[in-house]
Structure formats: C-alpha cells, structure tokens
C-alpha cells in the first residue's frame, strides 16, 4: 500500500486571517497598503491582490471595504489630497499682500519644498509619471492640477493689473510655473540633492524679476 500523501491529505494553505476591526480602521489600513505598493513598486503593480498581500489580509477583506480598485484609489486620492494638496492651495500667497510675481513664485517654491520633505510618499503618488497611472488616478490628478493652475493664473492676472505689465500672458505663465514646479518636485523625490531649494528660489526671483518688473 502506498504511503504517499494525496492532495486531500495535505493541509491546505490558509488564507490570512484578518481580525475584526472597525470598518474605518480597516479602510485606513488598506489605503496605507495601497500607498506602500505604489511607492515601492509603481502603479504598474497596483491591484487588489497586491494590496491584500501588503496588508496581510484576504482579497475578500479588501472587497468588504471597497467595491473595486477604482473606489479604493479614489479614496486614497481623497485622503492624500486632504493631507497635502489642499494645504498647498491654502498657502498660495495673497495677491494684495505679495504683488510681486517673483516673490509669489519664490514663496510657492519654498512651501512646496517643505511639503515634499514633510510627506514625500503623498507627493510621489501625485507627481509620478502619468503613463502608467490608472485612468481614475490620472483624471483626478489632472483635475487638481488644473484647479491649481487657475489659482496661479488668477493671482498673476491681479499682479499684472497692479504692475501695469500688458505683455505677459498670465495663462501661459501659470502653465509654465506649474510645469516647472512639478519637474523640480519629481527631481527632489527621485534625485534629492540635485538642486538646493535656496538656489532654486534665487533663480526664480531672478528670472521672473527680469520678465515682470516689480510694482513701483
């Protein structure tokens, strides 16, 4: 008689057991796991399976908290936006208090540098190259980017009216400033030390000061 164990005799590998926790706590755990996957492996590897593995729970636990991957990623963006992006919008200089475009841009660079340092993982989520982003993430980040651009454009329009400078287009300049900020933000995250923030701020002042004279 054969003594080899059959497949039925072998113990089955159990799925990870997830202790019962309040649903809001579980959702936070899964969002943390999703962010960790994106930061370490990129958007190409984000999936329900990858999130469940990182959180050490079964797929059913993930689906018990979120209907699908898009819903989970949307919730992650909501949370990270509240932590970082809304603070950035709120800290834009006031046009009346700072009518100089060069100083406006310098203050924004300074504040963005501080935010990158305080919460790098959130900004990796936002500033990652868009090519491999899921559509739900790409569309949401582009909407937030456009909202930020419009605020910058509105500020530059008011500053231009104050200086009487008729030649520079605030819309074009707002696109250029936001694109530059994103570029240097990615460098700060992927190649820290490439540019000293203080040096960037000085260069911003010099460039915009030359393009757009200060209020006299």
Helix (H) or strand (E) holding 178: helix 170-190
| Cα 12 from Cα 45, distance rounded (Å) | 27
In order along its 216 residues, the chain shows pLDDT tens digits of: 444 544 445 554 555 555 678 899 999 999 999 999 998 988 888 999 999 999 999 999 999 999 999 999 999 988 888 777 777 776 676 656 666 777 777 777 787 788 888 888 888 888 877 777 888 888 888 888 898 899 888 887 877 676 666 677 889 988 988 898 888 888 888 888 888 888 888 888 887 777 766 544
Rg (CA), the chain: 23
**Is the pTM higher than 0.75?**
no
Helices (H) and strands (E) in the chain, counts: 10, 0
């Amino acid at each position: 008689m054969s003594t080899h164990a059959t497949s039925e005799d072998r113990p089955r590998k159990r799925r990870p057991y997830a202790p019962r926790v309040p649903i809001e706590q579980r959702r936070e755990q899964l969002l943390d796991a999703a962010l960790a996957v994106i930061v370490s492996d990129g958007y190409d590897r984000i999936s329900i399976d990858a999130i469940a593995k990182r959180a050490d729970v079964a797929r059913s636990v993930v689906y018990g908290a979120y209907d699908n991957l898009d819903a989970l990623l949307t919730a992650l963006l909501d949370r990270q936006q509240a932590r970082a992006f809304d603070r950035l919008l709120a800290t834009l200089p006031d046009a009346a208090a700072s009518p100089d475009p060069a100083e406006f841009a310098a203050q924004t660079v300074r504040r963005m540098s501080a935010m990158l340092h305080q919460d790098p993982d959130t900004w990796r989520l936002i500033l990652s190259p868009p090519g491999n982003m899921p559509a739900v993430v790409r569309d949401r980040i582009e909407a937030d980017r456009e909202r930020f651009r419009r605020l910058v454009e509105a500020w530059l329009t008011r500053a231009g009216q104050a200086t009487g400078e008729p030649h520079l287009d605030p819309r074009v300049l707002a696109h250029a400033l936001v694109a530059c900020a994103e570029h240097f933000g990615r460098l700060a995250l992927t190649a820290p030390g490439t540019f000293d923030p203080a040096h960037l701020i000085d260069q911003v002042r010099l460039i915009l000061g030359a393009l757009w004279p200060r209020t006299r």
